[in-house]
């Protein structure tokens, strides 16, 4: 049995980027540990969604536990930083925010968990944090340093196959049977294809590892729905039909750090 540690920025990131791989690892008998840098205090929430006096971070912690239960997570830990908000917003300057954290200090916090768990595999994000969110970029920086401190050799950068994403967006705009004809999905696809198309993620040629998680899509979708404050039933993630969801989320992609040229893998643990 191996131990997989997935390091994420906020509650809900874990299921979007690595939910299938986590559920698969659990099903295969491995230990799964989830670490989030923040409790997602700066997320957006619909008016009147929270109970009187309830703070968003409180709800997101509850949602995270519910999603983790679906995915088979054995342990959840928080590094204790505050959500930094989107790039170039005033909340980036909050001294308590993860974006302002000393990388070495934060890395030591994560490394302590990695050592305690005797982690075999660590997942982080690519260097741009997938789409440029400051906390995601910081996850990359802190994760790389923590892996070095704890001597974890197998480190995977969760990323998006940019080329495949473009193909899926074009299919959604074309209204193929797999993508469905949901107007909200189509409108989002059209918006993302503007100005040269998506820039998030990484070119397909850089991806070393593609994990087939199609057998765990039910768990992945249920775990997404558990994050109801951030992923509503009409969201891009949940509005698409089953076939479209399988196209978009049936494979999770990674870049293995320090991989040999030409490496092609189908597993992270």
Rounded Cα gap, residues 152 and 147, in angstroms: 5
Q: What separation in angstroms does the CA of 11 have from each of 32, 42, 43, 223?
A: 16, 11, 10, 11
Boundaries of domain holding 251: 3-256
Within a domain: 263? no
Q: Is there a domain that residue 22 lies in?
A: yes
- Does residue 265 belong to any structural domain of this protein? no
Tell me if residue 45 falls in helix, strand or coil: coil
The tens digit of pLDDT for each residue in 93-106 reads: 999 999 999 999 99
Place of tokens 């995270």: 64
Answer whether residue 169 is part of any domain: yes
The pLDDT score that the predictor gives to residue 23 is 98
CA distances from 240 to 115, 125, 188, 198 (A): 40, 25, 12, 19
Cα–Cα dist 126/108, whole Å: 20
pLDDT above 60 (res 217): yes
| 261 located within any domain | no
Decide if 107 is inside a domain: yes
pLDDT, tens digit (0-9, with 9 covering 90-100), for 173-210: 777 655 556 676 677 677 767 766 667 899 999 999 99
Six token digits for residue 203: 């070119």
The domain spanning residue 43 has which CATH number?
3.40.50.10320
Q: Is the dihedral of CA 45, 164, 200, 40 positive or negative?
A: positive
Residue 126 lies in a domain: yes
User: Collapsing DSSP states into helix, strand and coil, what is residue 188?
Assistant: helix
pLDDT band at residue 241 using 50, 70 and 90 as cut-offs: confident
Residue 250 has pLDDT above 60, yes or no: yes
Note the pLDDT tens digit of each residue in 149-175.
999 999 999 999 988 877 777 777 777
State how many domains the chain has: 1
For the chain, the C-alpha Rg in angstroms (whole number) is 18
Confidence at residue 26, expressed as pLDDT on a 0 to 100 scale: 98
């Amino acid at each position: 049995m191996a131990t997989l540690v997935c390091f994420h920025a906020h509650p809900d990131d874990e299921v979007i980027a690595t939910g299938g791989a986590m559920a698969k690892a659990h099903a295969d008998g491995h230990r799964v540990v989830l670490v989030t840098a923040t409790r997602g205090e700066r997320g957006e929430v619909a008016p009147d969604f929270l109970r009187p006096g309830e703070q968003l971070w409180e709800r997101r912690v509850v949602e995270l536990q519910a999603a983790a239960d679906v995915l088979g997570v054995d342990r959840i830990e928080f590094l204790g930083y505050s959500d930094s908000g989107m790039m170039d917003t005033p909340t980036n300057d909050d001294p308590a925010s993860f974006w302002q954290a000393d990388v070495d200090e934060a890395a030591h916090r994560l490394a302590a968990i990695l050592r305690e768990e005797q982690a075999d595999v660590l997942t982080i994000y690519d260097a741009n944090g997938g789409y440029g969110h400051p906390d995601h970029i910081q996850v990359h920086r802190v994760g790389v340093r923590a892996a070095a401190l704890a001597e974890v050799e197998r480190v995977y950068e969760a990323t998006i196959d940019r080329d495949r994403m473009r193909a899926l967006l074009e299919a959604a705009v074309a209204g193929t049977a797999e993508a469905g004809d949901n107007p909200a999905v189509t409108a989002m696809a059209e918006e993302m294809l503007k100005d040269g198309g998506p820039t998030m993620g990484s070119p397909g040629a850089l991806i070393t590892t593609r994990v087939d998680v199609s057998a765990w899509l039910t768990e992945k979708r249920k775990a997404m729905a558990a994050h109801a404050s951030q992923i509503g039933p009409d969201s891009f993630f949940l509005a698409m039909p089953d076939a479209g969801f399988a196209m978009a989320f049936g494979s999770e992609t990674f870049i293995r750090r320090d991989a040999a040229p030409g490496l092609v893998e189908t597993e992270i643990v």
